[in-house]
Chains A and B, each alone.
Chain A
Amino acid sequence: MTPQESAAAPEVAVAEDPVKVQNARVLALLHRLFGEATFTDVEEQYGLLSVTTTREHIHGVIAGLQQDQEIKLNFLTTMCGINYPEDEGKELGMIYHLHSLTQNIRLRLKIFFPVADPVVPTLTDLYNSANWMEREAYDFYGVIFTGHPNLIRILNVEDMDYHPMRKQYPLEDGTREDKTDLFFGR
Chain B
Amino acid sequence: MMDTRVPEIKTVEAPEGVEGAGFFATSLEKVVGMARANSLWPLPFATSCCGIEFMATMGSHYDISRFGSERPSFSPRQADLLMVMGTIAKKMAPIVKQVYEQMAEPRWVLSMGACACSGGIFDSYSVLQGIDRIIPVDVYVPGCPPRPEQVIDGLMRVQDLARNESMRRRNAPEYQALLESYNIK
Contact (Cβ within 8 A) B124 A171: yes
Chain B 118-135: CB-based contact to A (< 8 A → 1; otherwise 0): 000001111101000000
Contact (Cβ within 8 A) A156 B123: no
Of the listed stretches A15-23, A46-54, A67-75, A172-180, chain B binds A172-180
A164 cross-chain contacts in B, Cβ below 8 A:
125-126
Let me know if A157 is at the binding interface, CB within 8 A: yes
Contact (Cβ within 8 A) B91 A171: no
Interface size classification for chain B: under 10
CB distance from A55 to the nearest CB of B (A): 28
Give the docked Cα–Cα distance between A178 and B90 (Å): 17
Contact (Cβ within 8 A) B129 A173: yes
CB distance from A162 to the nearest CB of B (A): 9
Main secondary structure on B side of the interface with A: loop
Chain A 163-175: CB-based contact to B (< 8 A → 1; otherwise 0): 0100001111110
Interface residues of A in 128-154 (CB under 8 A from B): none
Contact (Cβ within 8 A) A172 B123: yes
Contact (Cβ within 8 A) A178 B129: yes
Contact (Cβ within 8 A) A173 B125: yes
B129 cross-chain contacts in A, Cβ below 8 A:
173, 176, 178-179
Contact (Cβ within 8 A) A156 B124: no
B127 cross-chain contacts in A, Cβ below 8 A:
173
A171 cross-chain contacts in B, Cβ below 8 A:
123-125
Of all chain B residues, the one with the shortest Cβ separation from A186 is B123
Give the docked Cα–Cα distance between A170 and B124 (Å): 9
Give the docked Cα–Cα distance between A176 and B129 (Å): 8
Q: How many residues of A contact B (CB 8 A)?
A: 13
Of all chain B residues, the one with the shortest Cβ separation from A171 is B124
Contact (Cβ within 8 A) B124 A157: no
Contact (Cβ within 8 A) A172 B125: yes
Of all chain A residues, the one with the shortest Cβ separation from B125 is A173
Contact (Cβ within 8 A) A179 B90: no
Assess A157 versus B123: contact at CB under 8 Å? Given A173-B129, A176-B129, A178-B129.
no
Of all chain A residues, the one with the shortest Cβ separation from B94 is A157
A169 cross-chain contacts in B, Cβ below 8 A:
125
Contact (Cβ within 8 A) B91 A172: no
Give the docked Cα–Cα distance between A164 and B90 (Å): 14
A174 cross-chain contacts in B, Cβ below 8 A:
125
CB distance from A83 to the nearest CB of B (A): 16
B124 cross-chain contacts in A, Cβ below 8 A:
171-173
B90 cross-chain contacts in A, Cβ below 8 A:
157
Contact (Cβ within 8 A) B125 A157: no
A173 cross-chain contacts in B, Cβ below 8 A:
123-127, 129
Give the docked Cα–Cα distance between A172 and B125 (Å): 5
8 nearest A-B pairs in the assembled complex, by CB-CB distance: A173-B125, A157-B91, A172-B123, A171-B124, A176-B129, A164-B125, A157-B90, A156-B126
Q: Which residues in B have some Cβ–Cβ distance to A below 8 Å?
A: 90-91, 123-127, 129
Q: Which residues in A have some Cβ–Cβ distance to B below 8 Å?
A: 155-157, 164, 169-174, 176, 178-179
